[in-house]
C-alpha cells in the first residue's frame, strides 16, 4: 500500500500538549508491557479511555515478520487473521483455530513496536497475513509433519485520544512510516489520520464504519467543489449538426465523427461565400424589383458590390479534438480529388512544433500519399521550382518575420514570392498583436485559402479575434477598425447581449469550435483544496508578510509626497513574489532563494539598472499583467518562448526604471534611427533591454549543495492525494 504524507501542524494545534513516542534504546530485548489494552475482534469495541479526549482511529501501519505454523494447521495460503501482540517481538493468533502457531516481528520493526506498546493511551487492533504457502525455513517435506515458517505481514490499526494525533503522526514520520487508511476496523470511531489532510473539525471526519462505503470517494469529500464558470469562448461553440465528409483515401487513420464534420466545414469554407440565407455565412444576397444587394447580417448594412472572395476560417476546437489531423485530411482530400498540379500548402508553426507536424504526417498519411519539406534554418528551400515538388512546406513564424524584414521583403524570399494554395497558422494566437512584426509578416503572405488554428482565439480581450480575422481576410472584418465598431465597442459599452449575438453570427460562418463534449471524455471537475501551513511555515510567511506590508505602506507614503521610488516598488514586488513562493516551497524557500536577497533588495544603490532590469521585469510580470506603454498590448511570452528556442534572431524588448515596458515592435523606430529607447517621461528614465523568454523568468539561484529539505505543506498534500489514487488512474498536472 502506498504511503500518504503528514498533515501539517495547524495554528489551532498550538495548545495541544506535546506528547512523543520515543523509540526505546533497548529495542530487541522486548517484554510484554503493562497498561496496554490488547484485544482481538471480540474485545475491540471495549474502550477504557485514559483521556477526556474522544477516541479516534489514527490509521493503519504494517510490519513484516515470520509466522511459524504448527503442524498441518496452515498448508495453504490463508486470509488475514486477528492476532494478539505480547511483546515487541512476539504475537499469536487471537483464535488458534485453524492457524495455531506464533509469529515474530522482523528485527527492524522491534523498536517501533516496543514504542507503540509503551504508550498506554494507544489501543491496537492487529491482524496477520501470510505471504504464501511455501516455507521459509523448513524443507518442503516437513510441511506436512512439522512447524512451517512463513513470511507474513502484520497490520496494526491504531486508536487513541484525539489530542495524541499529532504526536503519533510525527513519531511515524520520524521513522519513515506513514499511516494508511485502515481496513476492517472493529471500532466505530472517527477516522483522523495525521498523515492525511482531513477536516479541522473532528465532527467532519468520517466514521471508520463508513470507510468501505466511501472508498476512493474519501478524498473527494476533502475538496471544495468549484462551480463551472462561463467562458467568452462558449459563445463561439457551433456546428453540432454538420454532415460527415467521406474518409480521404490518403489518410490511413480512421477519422472520427467530429473530425469528418470538421472536414465538411473546411471544404465548405474553401468554396467561398455561400450567399444563401440558410447558410451560416454572415452575408446574404437579396434581390428586389429595383435592385440586388448584399446584406451583412452582423451590422445589417447593405451594399450593392459583392463582398471580396474569402476562403478559409478559424479552427478553435479545444485541445484533444485532433485539429492537426483534420487539417492534414483537408490537404489529402483535395489532392485525391484533383489531378492538377499547383502550389503547395504553407504551414507556419512555432519551432518546437516542426517535429510534431512531421510526425503527424508520417503517422496518418499513407505511404507516398503526400510529400512535405521543412523550410527552416539550414533546411531552407532556395528555388521556386523546388517548391512545386511538395504538397506541404512547413516553416516558422520567425522565418516569416525575418524574411519580411519590417515590410522590406528579403531578396529571394520564397515565402513572399509564391501564391500558396493555402496558408495554415498553428498556434495562431501568436499573431494577436496586429502591430507586431510577426503578425504583419504573416498577413502579408499570399494564399488562396487562409486558416488560423488556435484553441484560444480570445486570450485577453475581444480584440484578439480581430487579428485572426485580419489574417484570414474575412471582409469587412479584416479591417480591425470595422470589427471594433461593429462588435468591440458594443461589448465595451456594456451591451453584452447584443455583442454576444453578433459574435455568434460571425462565428457561425468563420469559426469552427466545438465543446469537448463533442468527443467522449470523462467529465471535468474543478476542486479547491484548502491547506494550512505547519507552524514553522506560518512563522516564515508571517515574517515576510509583515515586511511586505511595511514596504507597501512606505511606497504609498512616497507617492503621497510626490516622489517615485522604483526600487521600493521592486522590493514590494520581490516580497509579494516571495509570499507566493513560500506557499509552494515552504521552508525550502530560504534554502533555494535566500532570504538575504529579499532583505538586501531595499538597498540596491550599489546595483546599476542594467543589472537589475531583467530581475525587476520578471518580478512584475510574474505578479501582474505587463502591457506595452506605447501600444498597450500585453507582453507575449508565448511567442517569446518559441523565439527563444529558435535559431532566428529575435527582437529585444525594453524595461524602464519607471516600470514602463516597451515592446520590441514599439522599440524598432528608435533602433532604426540609432536612438536610445525612451520611456516617455521627462526627464527620461534609464531603459534596459530585457528578454521575454521563460528561461529568464524561471531561472533562480539554486544552492550548490543539496541539503535534506522538508516537503512543504502544499507538496505534502499533493503527494498524499496522488498516492491515494488507484495505480491505474491517470495523473494530471496540478495548477
pLDDT of residue 557: 67
Neighbouring CB atoms inside 10 A of 214's CB total: 15
* Distance in angstroms (rounded) separating the CA atoms of residues 708 and 721: 23
**Residue 693: pLDDT band with limits 50, 70, 90:** low
DSSP H helix total and E strand total for the chain: 23, 23
Q: What is the pLDDT of residue 124?
A: 94
Instruction: Give pLDDT, residue 356.
Output: 92
Residue 728, pLDDT score: 61
Q: Which helix (H) or strand (E) holds 397?
A: helix 397-404
Tell me which DSSP letter residue 486 carries.
I
| Nearest Cα to Cα of residue 186 among 208, 204, 164 | 208
Per-residue pLDDT at 176: 75
Least confident of 65-79, 199-213, 467-481: 65-79
Contact 6, 173 (CB under 8 A): yes
For residue 285, what are the contacts with CB-CB under 8 A and spacing of at least 6?
Answer: 275, 276, 292, 293, 294
What is the β-pairing status of strands 224-226 and 190-191?
unpaired
- pLDDT over threshold 90, residue 347: yes
Confidence band, pLDDT 50/70/90 cuts, at residue 583 = confident
Confidence check: pLDDT of 460 > 90? no
Tell me the β-bridge partners of 656.
Answer: 687
Pairing verdict, β 372-374 and 661-662: unpaired
Say if CB 152 and CB 64 are below 8 A apart. yes
| pLDDT over 50 at 700, yes or no | no
DSSP alpha helix (H) spans, 516-608? 535-560, 566-585, 588-592, 595-599
Highest mean pLDDT out of 87-91, 147-151, 238-242: 87-91
Provide the pLDDT confidence category of residue 395 given band limits of 50, 70 and 90. very high
Domains of the chain are 11-222 (no CATH), 257-272+309-518 (3.40.50.10810)
Over the stretch 245-273, which tens digit does the pLDDT of each residue have? 999 999 999 999 989 999 999 998 998 88
The percent of residues in the chain predicted with pLDDT above 70, rounded, is 70
Confidence (pLDDT) at 363? 93
pLDDT of 399-429, one tens digit each? 898 888 766 666 668 889 899 999 999 999 8
Bridge partners, 148 (sequence order): 69
For residue 334, what pLDDT is reported? 87
User: Angle formed by the axes of helices 397-404 and 637-645, to 10°?
Assistant: 90
Mean pLDDT of the chain: 75
Which residues are 588's β-sheet partners?
none
**Dihedral sign of CA atoms 32, 38, 42, 48 in order:** positive
Dump pLDDT digits (tens) for 51-88: 567 899 999 998 988 888 876 555 444 568 899 999 88
104 pLDDT band, cuts 50/70/90, is: very high
d(CA 623, CA 615): 12
Burial letters for 721-733: b for 16+ Cβ neighbours within 10 Å, e otherwise? beebeeeeeeeee
Select from 99, 53, 44, 106 the least CA-distant residue to 77.
99
DSSP state for residue 609 in the 8-state scheme: H
User: Which residues, 6 or more positions from 408, have their beta carbon under 8 angstroms from its beta carbon?
Assistant: none
Across the strands, what pairs with 627? 634
User: What is the band of 170 on the pLDDT scale with cuts at 50, 70, 90?
Assistant: confident
Range 539-567 average pLDDT: 70
- The residues that bridge with 61 in the sheet, in sequence order, are 156
Is pLDDT of 91 > 90? yes
Predicted pLDDT at 643: 45
Cell of 184: 476492517
Q: Are 140 and 42 in contact (CB under 8 A)?
A: no
Residue 197 confidence (pLDDT) above 80: no
User: Any idea which of 464-473, 607-616, 699-708 has the lowest mean pLDDT?
Assistant: 699-708
Share of the chain above pLDDT 90, in %: 20
Closest CA to 233 of 636, 424, 504: 504
Cβ-based neighbours of 130, under 8 Å, separated by 6 or more: 67, 74, 77, 78, 150, 151, 152
pLDDT score of 134 more than 50: no
pLDDT for the residue 227: 57
Give me the mean pLDDT over the 478-484 stretch.
Answer: 89
316 conformational bin, left if phi > 0, alpha if psi -120 to 50, beta if neither:
alpha
SS3 128: strand
Cβ atoms of 155 and 61 closer than 8 Å? yes
CA distance 191 to 162: 10
The residues, any chain, with a CB within 8 Å of residue 518's CB and separated by 6 or more, are: 240, 258, 317, 321
Q: Report the pLDDT averaged over residues 206-219.
A: 66
| Confidence at residue 727, expressed as pLDDT on a 0 to 100 scale | 61
Q: What was the pLDDT predicted at 330?
A: 95
Which range has the worst mean pLDDT, 293-297, 541-545, 587-591?
A: 587-591
Average the pLDDT over 84-106 and give the result: 86
What pLDDT was estimated at residue 120? 87
pLDDT band at 352 (very low <50, low <70, confident <90, very high): confident
Which pLDDT score, from 0 to 100, does residue 40 have?
A: 35
Mean pLDDT of 724-730: 64
The H-or-E segment that residue 468 falls in is: helix 463-472
Listed in order, strand segments (DSSP E) in 45-181 are 55-69, 81-85, 90-93, 101-105, 123-130, 148-161
More confident residue, 138 or 305: 305
Asked if the model's pLDDT at residue 535 lies above 50, the reply is yes
Name the strand (E) or helix (H) holding 528. Answer: strand 526-528
Transcribe 165-215 into DSSP letters. HHHHHHHHHHTT---B--SS-SS--EE--TTS---SSGGGSPBGGGHHHHT
Contact 69, 142 (CB under 8 A): no
| pLDDT score of 167 more than 50 | yes
Element (H, E) at 126: strand 123-130
Least confidently predicted of 133-147, 194-208, 451-465: 133-147
Range among 195-199, 247-251, 413-417, 455-459 rated most confident? 247-251
Distance (Å, whole) CA 484 – CA 469: 12
pLDDT of residue 328: 95
The 10s digit of each residue's pLDDT in 325-334 is 999 999 999 8
- Cβ neighbours of residue 632 closer than 8 Å, sequence gap 6 or more: none
Amino acid at each position: 500500500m502506498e504511503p500518504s504524507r503528514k498533515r501539517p501542524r495547524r495554528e489551532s494545534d498550538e495548545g495541544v500538549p506535546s506528547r512523543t513516542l520515543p523509540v526505546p534504546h533497548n529495542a530487541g530485548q522486548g517484554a510484554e508491557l503493562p497498561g496496554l489494552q490488547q484485544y482481538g475482534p471480540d474485545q475491540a469495541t471495549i474502550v477504557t479511555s485514559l483521556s477526556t479526549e474522544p477516541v479516534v482511529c489514527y490509521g493503519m501501519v504494517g510490519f513484516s515478520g515470520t509466522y511459524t505454523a504448527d503442524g498441518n494447521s496452515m498448508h495453504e495460503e490463508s486470509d488475514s487473521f486477528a492476532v494478539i501482540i505480547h511483546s515487541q517481538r512476539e504475537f499469536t493468533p487471537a483464535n488458534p483455530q485453524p492457524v495455531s502457531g506464533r509469529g515474530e516481528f522482523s528485527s527492524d520493526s522491534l523498536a517501533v513496536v516496543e514504542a507503540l506498546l509503551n504508550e498506554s493511551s494507544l489501543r491496537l487492533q492487529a491482524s496477520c497475513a501470510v505471504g504464501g504457502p511455501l516455507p521459509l525455513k523448513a524443507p518442503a517435506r516437513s510441511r506436512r509433519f512439522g512447524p512451517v515458517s512463513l513470511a507474513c505481514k502484520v497490520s496494526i490499526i491504531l486508536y487513541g485520544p484525539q489530542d495524541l494525533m499529532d504526536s503519533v503522526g510525527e513519531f511515524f514520520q520520524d521513522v519513515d512510516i506513514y499511516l494508511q487508511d485502515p481496513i476492517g476496523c472493529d471500532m466505530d470511531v472517527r477516522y483522523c489520520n495525521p498523515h492525511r489532510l482531513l477536516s479541522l473539525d473532528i465532527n467532519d471526519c468520517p466514521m471508520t464504519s463508513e470507510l468501505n462505503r466511501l472508498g476512493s470517494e474519501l478524498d473527494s469529500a476533502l475538496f471544495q467543489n468549484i462551480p463551472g464558470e462561463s467562458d467568452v469562448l462558449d459563445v463561439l461553440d457551433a456546428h453540432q449538426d454538420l454532415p460527415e465528409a467521406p474518409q480521404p483515401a490518403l489518410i490511413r487513420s480512421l477519422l472520427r465523427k467530429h473530425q469528418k464534420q470538421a472536414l465538411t466545414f473546411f471544404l465548405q469554407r474553401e468554396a467561398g461565400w455561400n450567399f444563401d440565407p440558410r447558410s451560416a455565412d454572415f452575408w446574404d444576397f437579396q434581390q428586389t424589383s429595383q435592385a440586388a444587394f448584399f446584406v451583412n447580417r452582423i451590422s445589417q448594412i447593405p451594399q450593392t458590390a459583392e463582398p471580396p472572395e474569402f476562403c478559409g476560417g478559424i479552427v478553435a476546437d479545444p485541445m484533444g479534438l485532433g485539429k492537426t489531423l483534420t487539417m492534414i485530411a483537408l490537404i489529402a482530400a483535395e489532392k485525391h480529388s484533383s489531378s492538377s498540379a499547383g502550389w503547395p500548402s504553407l504551414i507556419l508553426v512555432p519551432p518546437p512544433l516542426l517535429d510534431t507536424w512531421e510526425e503527424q504526417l508520417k503517422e496518418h498519411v499513407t505511404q507516398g500519399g503526400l510529400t512535405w519539406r521543412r523550410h527552416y534554418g539550414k533546411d531552407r528551400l532556395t528555388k521556386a521550382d523546388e517548391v512545386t515538388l511538395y504538397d506541404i512546406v512547413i516553416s516558422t513564424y520567425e522565418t516569416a518575420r525575418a524574411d519580411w524584414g519590417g515590410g522590406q521583403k528579403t531578396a529571394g524570399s520564397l515565402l513572399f514570392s509564391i501564391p500558396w494554395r493555402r496558408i495554415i497558422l498553428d498556434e495562431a494566437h501568436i499573431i494577436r498583436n496586429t502591430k507586431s512584426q510577426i503578425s504583419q509578416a504573416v498577413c502579408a503572405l499570399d494564399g488562396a485559402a487562409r486558416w488560423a488554428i488556435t484553441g484560444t482565439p480570445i486570450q485577453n480581450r475581444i480584440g484578439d479575434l480581430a487579428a485572426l480575422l485580419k489574417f484570414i481576410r474575412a471582409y469587412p472584418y479584416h479591417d480591425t477598425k470595422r470589427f471594433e465598431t461593429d462588435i468591440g465597442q458594443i461589448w465595451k459599452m456594456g451591451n453584452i447581449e447584443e455583442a454576444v449575438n453578433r459574435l455568434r453570427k460571425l462565428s457561425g460562418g468563420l469559426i469552427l469550435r466545438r465543446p469537448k463534449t463533442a468527443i467522449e471524455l470523462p467529465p471535468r471537475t474543478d476542486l479547491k483544496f484548502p491547506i494550512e501551513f505547519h507552524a514553522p511555515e506560518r512563522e516564515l510567511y508571517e515574517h515576510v508578510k509583515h515586511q511586505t506590508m511595511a514596504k507597501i505602506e512606505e511606497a504609498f507614503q512616497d507617492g503621497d509626497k510626490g516622489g517615485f521610488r522604483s526600487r521600493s516598488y521592486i522590493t514590494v514586488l520581490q516580497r509579494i513574489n516571495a509570499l507566493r513562493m513560500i506557499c509552494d516551497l515552504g521552508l525550502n524557500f530560504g534554502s533555494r532563494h535566500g532570504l538575504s536577497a529579499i532583505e538586501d533588495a531595499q538597498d540596491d544603490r550599489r546595483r546599476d539598472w542594467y543589472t537589475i532590469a531583467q530581475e525587476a521585469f520578471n518580478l512584475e510580470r510574474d505578479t501582474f499583467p505587463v502591457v506595452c506603454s506605447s501600444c498597450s498590448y500585453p507582453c507575449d511570452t508565448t511567442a517569446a518562448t518559441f523565439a527563444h528556442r529558435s535559431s532566428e534572431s529575435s527582437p529585444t524588448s525594453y524595461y524602464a526604471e519607471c516600470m514602463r515596458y516597451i515592446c520590441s515592435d514599439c522599440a524598432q523606430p528608435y533602433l532604426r534611427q540609432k536612438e536610445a529607447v525612451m520611456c516617455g517621461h521627462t526627464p527620461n528614465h534609464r531603459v534596459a533591454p530585457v528578454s521575454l523568454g521563460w528561461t529568464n523568468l524561471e531561472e533562480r539561484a539554486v544552492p550548490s549543495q543539496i541539503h535534506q529539505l522538508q516537503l512543504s505543506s502544499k507538496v505534502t498534500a499533493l503527494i498524499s492525494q496522488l498516492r491515494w489514487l488507484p495505480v491505474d488512474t491517470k495523473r494530471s498536472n496540478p495548477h
